[in-house]
Amino acid sequence: MTQPAARQPVAIVGWARTPMLRRTDKTEAHLLFDVVTGATEDAGITRADVDFSCAGSCDYVAGQAFSFVQNIDAVGAWPPKRDSHVEMDGAWALYEAWVRLQLGDIDVAIAMGSGRSSTADPATIYPMEMDPYYLAPLGADALTFAALQARVLLDAGLVTERQLAEVAARTRGDARTNPYAQVSGEYDVDALLEEEYVRAPLRRHDLAPITDGAAAVVIARGDRARELTDHPVWITGFAHSAEAHQPGVRDLRTSASARRAAKAAGADTAPIEVAELQTAFTHEEPLLAAALGLGPEVALNPSGGPLAANPVMATGLIRVIEAAQQIRDHGTQRALAHATSGPCLQQNLVAVLEGDR
């Protein structure tokens, strides 16, 4: 893998999120309309100033083929716009937008992510993202595979159930100050551990909520970014990596692909102060922190993370927003954002964000 450090400087200059709700009756296009308006306003531009747009969404989550086609209405693609779509989390849409700006001929791009998980039953949908011949017929959903991985960590002595409950209590405690949190509050770890398993060894507090929501991020190149804001958040490293699909052939105690992505993004070249990780399950936090080389000095998911709100297909992009917000609004100098896809963290993406020095 090649990932030279010197690139076109590209910065995050604006963003927006919808309220994070258990269920909304707004369409994805409507959710996206709101965040495209919000993110462009935040960047001090209009839709007409956006040279390239890229959306991330999933037909199976939407329950409709070509579901993203309606979402183009949110972008305002008239006159027609340079535009793309990934059947991945919005964090990968941001990656494509970042690559597009690297070509150097255009200056401003918007990346979006949207999902309404409330409209379907995750236990029905997620087995279909598995190998259709050997794994999908088992009917095992994302929760089952997560439970398997949590069991591996417990058996290896890398975590305890108490530590997992502590992650839940800490992140949802932190989420109390996050206006976009869907689940937050004060939790007693002993009480949490009294609860029944949902799927052993995971309890309800170990799981992310079901959330409807969308997010958008505006990025701009070099001088244009500086023109647009006094507080650009520079993307100084950006990479992703996959590993084998079949969890049985992987070492589930760690995440080799997350480690590779972090290395390729140059995360280890200077201290990280804050990390926003796409941890839809409590046990993924210690696992990813170790794989990404994040020590106890790094603040993990101060927003509450996906355990506080999990709008699938936008959850990863929101990690980027939360990390960028730490830099723009809270004085953090260097932050890491992480996104993931697939069973047991099969694919991982890392963005390194830095403030203007």
Partner 1 sequence: MSAGPCAIVGIGQTDHKTRRWDVSLGGLVREAATRALEDAQLTWADIDAVVLGKAPDLFEGVMKPELYLTDALGAAGKPMFRVHTAGSVGGTTGIVASHLVEAGIHRNVLAVAYQKQSEGNAQFALGSGKGASLGAGGAFAPYMRSYIQQTGAPADIGPMVAVKDRLNALKNPYAHLRLADISIEKVKASPMMWEPVRYLESCPSSDGACAVVFTDEEGGRAAASDGRPPAWVLASAVRSEPASFPGRDPVWSQGAADCAADVYRAAGLTRPREQIDCAELYVPFSWYEPMWLEAHDLADRGEGWKMVERGDTALDGAFPVNMSGGVLSSNPIGASGLLRFAEAALQVRGMAGEHQVDGAKVALAQAYGASAQYFSMWVVAGSLDAVG
Closest to 312 in 3D by CA, of 208, 234, 222, 163: 208
Nearest approach in angstroms of CB 230 to partner 1 is 26
21 strand-pairing partners:
212
Binding mask 252-291 for partner 1 (x = CB under 8 A): ----xx--x-------------------------------
Residue 13 token pair: 């200059």
Q: Which stretch binds partner 1 (CB under 8 A): 37-45, 59-67, 187-195, 280-288?
A: 59-67
The contact mask relative to partner 1 for 119-138 (x = CB under 8 A, - = no) is: ------xx-xxxxxx-xx--
Kindly state whether residue 92 participates in binding partner 1, applying the rule CB under 8 A.
yes
Count of CA atoms in the C-beta half-sphere (13 A) of 39: 36
- What amino acid occupies position 137? P
Residues 6+ apart with CB under 8 A from 329: none
Beta-bridged to residue 116, according to DSSP, are: 212
Task: Please tell me whether residue 69 binds partner 1 under the rule CB under 8 A.
Answer: yes
Contact (CB, 8 A) for 51 and 80: no
Interface pick for partner 1 out of 265, 346, 353, 355 (rule CB under 8 A): 346
Distance CA 4, CA 201 (A): 42
Q: Per CB under 8 A, does 179 bind partner 1?
A: no
Count of residues binding partner 1 (CB under 8 A)?
Answer: 67
Nearest partner of 299 among 280, 265, 325, 261, judged by Cα: 325
Q: Is 8 in the site for partner 1 (CB under 8 A)?
A: yes
> Which residues bind to partner 1, rule: CB under 8 A?
1-4, 7-8, 53, 58-60, 63-66, 68-70, 72-73, 75, 77-88, 92, 95-96, 99-100, 102-105, 125-126, 128-133, 135-136, 239-246, 256-257, 260, 341-343, 346-347
